[in-house]
Amino acid sequence: MTELHLWLRHEVRPTERRTPIVPSDARRLVESGVTLTVEESPQRIFPVEEYEAAGCRIAPAGSWVSAPEAAVVTGLKELPDQPGELTHRHIYFGHAYKGQPGAGALLRRFAAGGGTLLDLEYLVDDDGRRLAAFGFWAGYLGAALAVLQHRGRLATPLTPTSKEELDEILRPVAGDEEFTALVIGALGRSGRGARVAFLTAGIEATPWDLAETRDLDRGALLAHDVSAREAVDGDTGASYRLTSYCGGVPAVPNDFRYRFSWAPAGVLGALRAPARYIQDGAETVAERPWEVTRRHVVDDEAFEVYPNRDSVPFVEQYGLPDAWKPQTFVRGTLRLEGWLRAWDGVFEELKAGDDTRIAALAGELAAAYPTTDADRDRVVLAVSLDVRGDAGRSWSGSYLLDLVGDEEESAMARCVSRPLALGVRHILDGSLPAGLNRAAETAARSAQWLRELALEGVEFTLRVDE
């Protein structure tokens, strides 16, 4: 049997003090015959001397790049940008299989070097339950930070502290405003920790688990005072990535990866219009939007997406805190995987710019790829927001609408007609003014619309990761 050699690397993120192997576990590994090399790390919560006392070998920070080929490099979070070719087996939270920012570049590094990524996010038991996931203390700390932010007692940047010190400032004092809190997944590992933190803060949180969330009342969710946003709100160094992609596609993919349910000339015209959006913190213009098409994963299904028209004015309309800096802000179009290749001939025609030819092409495409009564369409709208604070705090959330048409009506018809009818209803009952207005200006109004649309068969799925 080949001897296992684990190599615990230094974490490059300066605020990361955690480690996947604590000294007591290191001692057990060494006693069981595992060779364990531990890199020196100035910020790791455990001093390297404790690992040395447990029988580990000690190496300089960052020396894993020249570790023996058989060594399994172990860490917690992201790798440094170099080397460009990764040759070892790596165990850590790579965050690479859901299309997260930087995922493609990371996987290309593994492919170039012949290395292997064993992502802790996908370590599961025989029943498919994740084994390395946020636990009791993650829930406790997340809830504690939210309470402190809500009460105006959260000092930034965050610094290491003991549980005793944290509990001391978490406990209620005279003059604290009473408020409510909601814990979703209250019976899970993180949920149990969050509930204990709220109790420490003098708050009896409302506990929701599977039974309460099968028919999620988003209005009740938004009526509570503590939200994940409060964990990063007020952080002057916070940045965010917001993407909103929508598209009508065939429910059963065809070779062209598309069927026309509206005027082909409009589809082609939209592709010819430049797109303005924010990428890497700067305004960017794509003269030919399809040339910046990228892969986008939604619920483990791969799509292709590209920016559409002008996203930048919506930065202000979305009402995110002014202190948050957009790193990515894109409103765009979603297509089935393989669309870019299938449309290669169309793009060549668009690049030529012959208006007469493009008008004729629209007619040809309408005849070749119509949506007939026998076809079923699908509408997918995927909106995601990821916020990162300069103190290491983060929040991620997404809404997903995924509808398939039936013999009664198409998915596109339902998505257009139901909100229109709802708007007319609100104008008639006086809750919305007549004229051109945004339907939802506040979180409460948005929650109301989402709840009413769900009753009309247009239901969004909400996911939140803290």
Task: Please provide residue 278's backbone torsions phi and psi, each rounded to the nearest 5 degrees.
Answer: -110, 130
Q: Which of 384, 297, 331 is nearest to 99 (CA)?
A: 297
Helix (H, G, I), strand (E, B) or coil at 266: helix
Residues 461 and 382: their CA atoms lie apart, in Å, by 10
The Cα 49–Cα 35 span in angstroms is 17
Spatial distance between the Cα atoms of 335 and 350, rounded to a whole number of angstroms: 18
Cβ atoms within 10 Å of 200's Cβ, excluding its own? 19
- DSSP element (H, E) containing 354: none
In the block, tokens 């939140």 appear at 464
Structure tokens at 137: 């203390």
Q: What's the rounded Cα separation, in Å, for the pair 141 and 146? A: 9
Amino acid letter for position 56: C
What is the rounded CA–CA span in Å between residue 85 and residue 72? 16
Number of other CB atoms surrounding residue 389 within 10 Å:
23
Query: Is the distance from CB of 156 to CB of 391 less than 8 angstroms?
Result: yes
Surface-to-core class of residue 454, CB atoms within 10 Å of its CB (0-12 exposed, 13-18 middle, 19+ buried): middle
Looking at beta carbons, which pairs linking 422-425 to residues 24 or more positions away fall under 8 Å? Answer: 422/449, 422/452, 422/453, 422/456
Distance (Å, rounded) from C-alpha 402 to C-alpha 99? 18
Catalytic positions, written as ranges: 77, 95
Indicate the helix (H) or strand (E) that contains 41.
Answer: none
* Encoded amino acid at 261, one letter: S
With a CB cutoff of 8 Å and minimum separation 6, the contacts of 285 are 274, 275, 276
DSSP 78: P
Count CA atoms within 13 Å of residue 414 on its CB side: 24
